Protein backbone atom coordinates (compact mmCIF):
# COMPACT_ATOMS: atom_id res chain seq x y z
CA UNK A 1 0.00 0.00 0.00
CA UNK A 2 1.20 3.47 -0.85
CA UNK A 3 1.30 5.81 2.12
CA UNK A 4 0.04 9.36 2.14
CA UNK A 5 2.77 11.85 3.04
CA UNK A 6 1.52 14.76 5.11
CA UNK A 7 2.61 17.24 7.76
CA UNK A 8 2.51 15.90 11.31
CA UNK A 9 -0.54 17.15 13.16
CA UNK A 10 -0.45 18.93 16.49
CA UNK A 11 -3.25 20.59 18.39
CA UNK A 12 -3.60 22.93 21.35
CA UNK A 13 -4.99 20.18 23.57
CA UNK A 14 -1.67 18.36 23.98
CA UNK A 15 -0.66 15.02 22.56
CA UNK A 16 -1.72 13.91 19.13
CA UNK A 17 -1.83 10.49 17.53
CA UNK A 18 1.09 11.55 15.31
CA UNK A 19 3.34 12.31 18.29
CA UNK A 20 2.43 9.00 19.90
CA UNK A 21 3.08 7.14 16.62
CA UNK A 22 6.44 8.88 16.04
CA UNK A 23 7.57 8.10 19.59
CA UNK A 24 6.58 4.46 19.07
CA UNK A 25 8.42 4.24 15.73
CA UNK A 26 11.57 5.80 17.16
CA UNK A 27 11.75 3.84 20.44
CA UNK A 28 13.20 0.59 19.00
CA UNK A 29 15.97 2.54 17.24
CA UNK A 30 16.94 4.19 20.51
CA UNK A 31 16.64 1.12 22.72
CA UNK A 32 18.08 -1.56 20.49
CA UNK A 33 20.32 -0.09 17.81
CA UNK A 34 23.19 2.32 17.32
CA UNK A 35 21.20 4.16 14.64
CA UNK A 36 20.26 6.78 17.20
CA UNK A 37 22.77 8.07 19.74
CA UNK A 38 20.03 8.71 22.31
CA UNK A 39 19.96 6.36 25.31
CA UNK A 40 16.34 6.73 26.44
CA UNK A 41 13.42 6.75 24.01
CA UNK A 42 11.66 10.12 24.15
CA UNK A 43 8.13 10.22 25.53
CA UNK A 44 5.17 11.20 23.41
CA UNK A 45 5.20 14.58 25.21
CA UNK A 46 8.83 15.11 24.18
CA UNK A 47 8.03 14.02 20.63
CA UNK A 48 5.23 16.60 20.59
CA UNK A 49 7.77 19.28 21.53
CA UNK A 50 10.18 18.10 18.80
CA UNK A 51 7.48 18.05 16.14
CA UNK A 52 6.34 21.57 17.06
CA UNK A 53 9.90 22.88 17.03
CA UNK A 54 10.82 21.31 13.68
CA UNK A 55 7.54 22.24 12.01
CA UNK A 56 7.82 25.89 13.04
CA UNK A 57 11.03 26.51 11.09
CA UNK A 58 11.68 23.44 8.93
CA UNK A 59 9.27 20.47 8.53
CA UNK A 60 8.08 17.24 10.14
CA UNK A 61 6.21 14.83 7.88
CA UNK A 62 4.59 11.45 8.45
CA UNK A 63 3.75 8.52 6.15
CA UNK A 64 0.21 7.32 6.79
CA UNK A 65 -1.33 4.14 5.39
CA UNK A 66 -4.99 3.92 4.39
CA UNK A 67 -6.81 3.38 7.66
CA UNK A 68 -4.69 5.93 9.51
CA UNK A 69 -1.62 3.98 10.68
CA UNK A 70 1.52 6.14 10.68
CA UNK A 71 4.45 3.96 9.51
CA UNK A 72 7.24 6.51 9.23
CA UNK A 73 8.36 10.07 9.60
CA UNK A 74 10.99 12.46 8.30
CA UNK A 75 12.04 15.87 9.51
CA UNK A 76 14.44 18.74 9.06
CA UNK A 77 16.08 20.70 11.86
CA UNK A 78 18.76 23.39 12.09
CA UNK A 79 22.14 22.01 11.05
CA UNK A 80 24.12 24.10 13.50
CA UNK A 81 23.38 27.08 15.75
CA UNK A 82 25.66 29.78 14.31
CA UNK A 83 23.99 32.27 11.94
CA UNK A 84 26.00 31.41 8.81
CA UNK A 85 24.56 27.87 8.89
CA UNK A 86 20.93 29.01 8.78
CA UNK A 87 20.49 27.98 5.12
CA UNK A 88 21.53 24.40 5.89
CA UNK A 89 19.31 21.74 7.45
CA UNK A 90 19.92 18.35 9.00
CA UNK A 91 17.47 15.68 7.88
CA UNK A 92 16.42 12.26 9.19
CA UNK A 93 13.93 9.56 8.27
CA UNK A 94 12.60 6.63 10.32
CA UNK A 95 10.25 3.80 9.39
CA UNK A 96 8.42 1.51 11.80
CA UNK A 97 10.55 -1.61 12.25
CA UNK A 98 7.67 -3.82 11.03
CA UNK A 99 7.31 -1.81 7.80
CA UNK A 100 8.73 -3.78 4.86
CA UNK A 101 11.80 -2.12 3.37
CA UNK A 102 12.13 -1.11 -0.26
CA UNK A 103 8.43 -0.20 -0.52
CA UNK A 104 9.14 3.44 -1.32
CA UNK A 105 7.90 4.87 1.98
CA UNK A 106 11.30 6.24 3.01
CA UNK A 107 11.91 7.69 -0.44
CA UNK A 108 8.45 9.28 -0.56
CA UNK A 109 8.97 10.86 2.86
CA UNK A 110 12.36 12.26 1.89
CA UNK A 111 11.28 13.51 -1.54
CA UNK A 112 8.42 15.49 0.00
CA UNK A 113 10.59 16.70 2.90
CA UNK A 114 13.31 17.96 0.56
CA UNK A 115 10.70 19.76 -1.57
CA UNK A 116 9.22 21.47 1.51
CA UNK A 117 12.67 22.49 2.77
CA UNK A 118 13.58 23.85 -0.67
CA UNK A 119 10.34 25.88 -0.75
CA UNK A 120 11.22 27.28 2.68
CA UNK A 121 14.55 28.59 1.34
CA UNK A 122 17.07 26.04 2.62
CA UNK A 123 20.05 25.53 0.36
CA UNK A 124 21.48 22.19 1.46
CA UNK A 125 20.44 19.14 3.42
CA UNK A 126 22.88 17.12 5.52
CA UNK A 127 22.31 13.64 6.93
CA UNK A 128 24.29 11.72 9.52
CA UNK A 129 24.21 7.93 9.22
CA UNK A 130 25.64 5.66 11.91
CA UNK A 131 27.75 3.02 10.18
CA UNK A 132 27.22 0.35 9.08
CA UNK A 133 23.81 1.03 7.54
CA UNK A 134 23.87 0.16 3.84
CA UNK A 135 20.11 0.59 3.42
CA UNK A 136 20.23 4.19 4.63
CA UNK A 137 23.36 4.98 2.61
CA UNK A 138 21.68 3.56 -0.51
CA UNK A 139 18.51 5.60 0.09
CA UNK A 140 20.49 8.81 0.46
CA UNK A 141 22.57 8.10 -2.65
CA UNK A 142 19.42 7.36 -4.65
CA UNK A 143 18.07 10.77 -3.61
CA UNK A 144 21.17 12.63 -4.77
CA UNK A 145 23.11 12.89 -1.51
CA UNK A 146 26.89 12.69 -1.79
CA UNK A 147 29.28 11.44 0.85
CA UNK A 148 31.22 14.31 2.42
CA UNK A 149 33.11 12.53 5.16
CA UNK A 150 33.14 10.12 8.04
CA UNK A 151 33.35 11.20 11.65
CA UNK A 152 35.38 8.39 13.22
CA UNK A 153 34.48 6.95 16.62
CA UNK A 154 32.30 9.92 17.60
CA UNK A 155 29.64 8.00 19.51
CA UNK A 156 29.81 5.15 22.00
CA UNK A 157 26.73 2.96 22.09
CA UNK A 158 26.00 -0.73 22.59
CA UNK A 159 29.53 -1.35 23.87
CA UNK A 160 31.32 -0.02 20.80
CA UNK A 161 32.62 3.20 19.25
CA UNK A 162 30.52 4.26 16.24
CA UNK A 163 31.38 6.11 13.06
CA UNK A 164 28.96 8.55 11.41
CA UNK A 165 28.90 9.08 7.66
CA UNK A 166 27.90 12.60 6.62
CA UNK A 167 26.06 12.99 3.33
CA UNK A 168 24.92 16.23 1.69
CA UNK A 169 22.56 17.29 -1.06
CA UNK A 170 22.19 20.75 -2.51
CA UNK A 171 18.60 21.93 -2.53
CA UNK A 172 19.09 25.23 -4.36
CA UNK A 173 21.97 26.32 -6.52
CA UNK A 174 22.18 30.09 -6.85
CA UNK A 175 24.65 32.64 -8.09
CA UNK A 176 27.32 32.73 -5.37
CA UNK A 177 27.57 36.52 -5.64
CA UNK A 178 23.91 37.08 -4.80
CA UNK A 179 23.04 37.13 -1.07
CA UNK A 180 20.61 34.31 -0.30
CA UNK A 181 17.04 35.00 0.75
CA UNK A 182 16.35 34.20 4.42
CA UNK A 183 14.76 30.79 5.05
CA UNK A 184 11.07 31.03 5.95
**pLDDT 10s digits, 36-87:** 999 999 999 999 999 999 999 999 999 999 999 999 999 999 999 999 999 9
Q: Locate all alpha helices (DSSP H) within 86-179, ordered by sequence.
A: 105-119, 134-142
Summarised one tens digit per residue, pLDDT across range 2-11 is 889 999 998 7
Q: How many residues does the chain have?
A: 184
The domain defined by 4-170 carries CATH number 3.40.630.30: yes
Kindly report the pTM of this predicted structure. 0.93
Confidence of residue 16 (pLDDT cuts 50, 70, 90): confident
24 Cβ contact partners less than 8 Å away, ≥ 6 residues apart: 96
pLDDT for res 181:
78
pLDDT over threshold 70, residue 178: no
Q: How far is CA 9 from CA 21, 66, 75, 122, in A?
A: 11, 16, 13, 22
Distance CA 131, CA 165 (A): 7
pLDDT (average), residues 92-104:
86
Domain limits of the chain?
Answer: 4-170
Confidence of residue 31 (pLDDT cuts 50, 70, 90): very high
Amino acid sequence: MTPTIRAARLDDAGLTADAVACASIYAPYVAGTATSFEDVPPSADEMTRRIASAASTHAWLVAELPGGRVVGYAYGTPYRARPAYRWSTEVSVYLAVDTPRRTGAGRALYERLLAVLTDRGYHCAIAGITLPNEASVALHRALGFAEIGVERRVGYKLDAWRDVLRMQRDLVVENSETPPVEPR
